[in-house]
Amino acid sequence: MHFKLIVAALAIAAVPALAQAQAPNPPKSSKPAKPAKAAPAAPASKAEAAQKLVKTISADKAKTQTYCDIGKLGDQIEEAEQKKDLKRIDELNRKMDELATKLGPEYVALMGDLQDIDPSSKEAQDISSTLEGLDKLCAK
């Protein structure tokens, strides 16, 4: 899969998905609130988040197939870019957005975060090599 291309396409697609993922504020109640359960600790780095995401996706056949389908769309976007077919690129980006939301908010968030990372940085290279584990599952 072409890491930079997928990140760019998903960064474009992530904005509407992130807006949908926000939950509305719950109504205020006169009853005292129950103590909240502690949320699981967030990964310390994007590379750790990618590792956790790879485990989650690779453990679920449907999510693995969805990830592979996103890769195929990335290849199609690259072909459409070479032909300068903007209409096709938009159509493929919409499909990619739909598939990305099926992988969950963690995937959408990670892909959105990746647009802020220098592609030649060690962190980007670590994330890319982590995601290659999923790419190998797509080759089967």
| Other Cβ atoms within 10 Å of 7 Cβ, number | 24
CB 115 within 8 A of CB 36: no
Q: Render pLDDT for 35-47 as a digit per residue (tens, 0 to 9).
A: 555 445 555 688 8
Q: Render pLDDT for 27-36 as a digit per residue (tens, 0 to 9).
A: 454 555 555 5
Q: Provide the greatest CA pair distance for the chain.
A: 61
pLDDT at 3: 52
- Closest residue by Cα to residue 21 from 107, 117, 121, 127: 107
**Per-domain boundaries in the chain:** 3-14+47-138
pLDDT at 11: 44
